[in-house]
Amino acid sequence: MKGTRARRTWRALGPRMDEDTLDHALGEQTLAEQTWAVEVQRREIVEALKAQGEANLRAQEEARAQFRSLAQKRASELFNEIFEGMDFDPRKRV
């Protein structure tokens, strides 16, 4: 038996508990603590991946918006180049 936790567990389980049983109980407690720690880490990783995925989606949406803006600007420039010098008014009907 080692440490304060062992003494507390010994007191909680009572003096009729032998050392092997106490060590087994402490081992199960340690296993439960480790299992919980792994679960906490798993949840943190899942949350981090969700946040990263959301950030990636926002970045993709922003890139698409920039591309659309540039494409519209370039289309307008090409239109102006093509019809430059022509007497063309899109509001007039032929």
Q: What is the pTM of this model?
A: 0.46
Write b or e for each residue in 45-75: b if 16 or more Cβ atoms lie within 10 A of its Cβ, otherwise e.
eeeeeeeeeeeeeeeeeeeeeeeeeeeeeee
Domain that holds residue 48: 8-83
Domain assignment present for 91: no
Domain assignment present for 2: no
Domain assignment present for 40: yes
The tens digit of pLDDT for each residue in 51-93 reads: 999 999 999 999 999 999 999 999 999 888 887 767 666 676 6
Domain assignment present for 78: yes
Q: DSSP code of 83? A: H
Domain assignment present for 32: yes
Domain assignment present for 90: no
Q: State how far the Cα of 33 lies from the Cα of 27, in Å rounded to an integer.
A: 10
Question: What total number of domains does the chain contain?
Answer: 1
CB-CB contact of 20 with 13 (8 Å):
no
The tens digit of pLDDT for each residue in 9-68 reads: 656 655 555 666 666 666 777 778 888 889 999 999 999 999 999 999 999 999 999 999
Domain assignment present for 69: yes
